[in-house]
Structure 1
């Protein structure tokens, strides 16, 4: 079993905005970033799955033009509910602190908790073909969820353990009957902001 996890390229969004399932477009650097991904993918990909959000869909279609891509809602990023596209620094601070203190279990208002994201992503991962090479084009939270499942890492530690920049490629594979992962491509990028500057 080989699964190639590919994070979308840089999204077209202002730094400091909260986003999850907002259907963001990609930046003008898309083709350059996507071309850097190609050398890290094998020729023998048999199945391609993607989040339906356009920042993933466009990358999947660019990388795999001859495949029948299967778009899967369970591969969407965390649902940020009422916080979608708000500036982190403008979100109501009391609830924001409650969420940041336990983002694994506390739901974003009108959205999801990290645990809910993890559960739906793992349910998808467990349905993947057990033979051949599979490509999955998705989001940072989705890929961290899969890697946390594979490596048995506590969700609250996943951001520290797995540094996944835009356009990264991670290979999940069987090694002596045990699933493990290796990072094939993790390009340098400007630091992302997924929290307020004041906390």
Structure 2
């Protein structure tokens, strides 16, 4: 059996101001740093064999804060990055909603029908989510893995594990900053133990 923990990065300045991040990056806030430390403390008695992280700074820094004094290696992989939002990145959600009303509505309500010529489509992210998951499971048929990534990427990954179609993507549990999800994978079958838990975080 392989145990997989999924963690979303800590809160960033862009999260607070309502900016779309994607491949862009807002710096971790003081709260985001504290929550990452708290998540590390929550996991301190669990032996983690390896940590996989998105190459985005906010995720990699969160992984480092969680790891603290652990000897487990941190492996950065571009496939764990957030969905690219193209020319929406760094812009306020409320501005995007006004200027790109149809596309923005499709993004949140009908992701399987969302289309733009800038950034990635949900299907693009689903492809790399499946690819990196299969890579990690093949490499670690047993043991305990921590994956640090981003909200939409993690939703797409969990949808894949549940065999959910993209139109059901946002019906899943909300994954807040520094949230933790635990999954057991036995003979290729994933079982969700808990999801999106933030009991270790300051509110």
Fold shared by both chains (TM-score > 0.5):
yes
Provide the aligned length of Structure 1 versus Structure 2.
Answer: 189
Structure 2 stretches of 5 or more lacking a match? none
Match of 2:60 among 48, 57, 61: 57
Name the counterpart of 1:112: 120
Name the counterpart of 1:44: 47
Q: Name the stretch that deviates more: 131-140 or 142-151.
A: 142-151
Confirm or deny: 8 A CA contact 1:45 1:134 kept in the other structure: yes
Q: TM-score, normalised by structure 1?
A: 0.84
**3-state SS of paired residue (1:29):** helix
RMSD: 2.3
Confirm or deny: 8 A CA contact 1:26 1:55 kept in the other structure: yes
Structure 2 counterparts to residues 110-189 of structure 1, below 5 A: 110-128=118-136, 129-174=140-185, 178-183=189-194, 186-187=197-198
Q: 1:37 to 1:102 in 2, by over 3 A?
A: same
Shift of 1:81: 0.2
The separation in 1 between residues aligned to 2:151 and 2:12, in whole angstroms, is 12
Q: 1:95 to 1:62 in 2, by over 3 A?
A: closer
Structure 1 stretches of 5 or more lacking a match? 190-199
Does 2:97 align with 1:88?
Answer: no
**3-state SS of paired residue (1:63):** helix
The separation in 2 between residues aligned to 1:85 and 1:153, in whole angstroms, is 30
Q: TM-score, normalised by structure 2?
A: 0.82
